[in-house]
Amino acid sequence: MHINTPCYIIDEQKLLKNLEKIQWLGKHANIKSVLALKCFSTWPVFKFMQAYMDGTTSSSLYEARLGYEEFGKEVHAYSVAFAQDEIQDLKKYADKVIFNSVKQLKSFYAELDGMDIGLRINPHISCSDYDLADPARQYSRLGVTDDSSVMEIAHLLNGVMFHYNCENNDFYNFSQQLDYIGKRYHDLLHQVDWVSLGGGIYFTLEDYPLQKFAAKLKDFGEQFGIQIYLEPGETAITSSASLVTTVLDIVHNEVDIAIVDSSTEAHMLDLLIYRESAEVGKVDHIQRSTESDSNEYDNYHYIIAGKTCLAGDIFGEYDFNTPLQIGDRIHFVDAAGYTMVKMNWFNGLKMPSIIIRRLNGQYDMVKTFNYSDFKQNLG
Largest CA distance in the chain: 76
* DSSP annotation string for 164-221: -BSSB--HHHHHHHHHHHHHHTHHHHTT-SEEE--S-B-TTSTTS-HHHHHHHHHHHH
pLDDT at residue 294, rounded to an integer: 42
Low-confidence ranges of the chain (pLDDT < 50): 290-297
Distance (Å, rounded) from C-alpha 288 to C-alpha 265?
A: 30
Domains, in order of start, for the chain:
13-236 (3.20.20.10), 238-376 (2.40.37.10)
Cβ neighbours of residue 283 under 8 Å, at least 6 residues apart? 320, 324, 328, 329, 330, 331
- Residue 252 — φ and ψ, nearest 5°? -130, 125
pTM across the whole model:
0.94
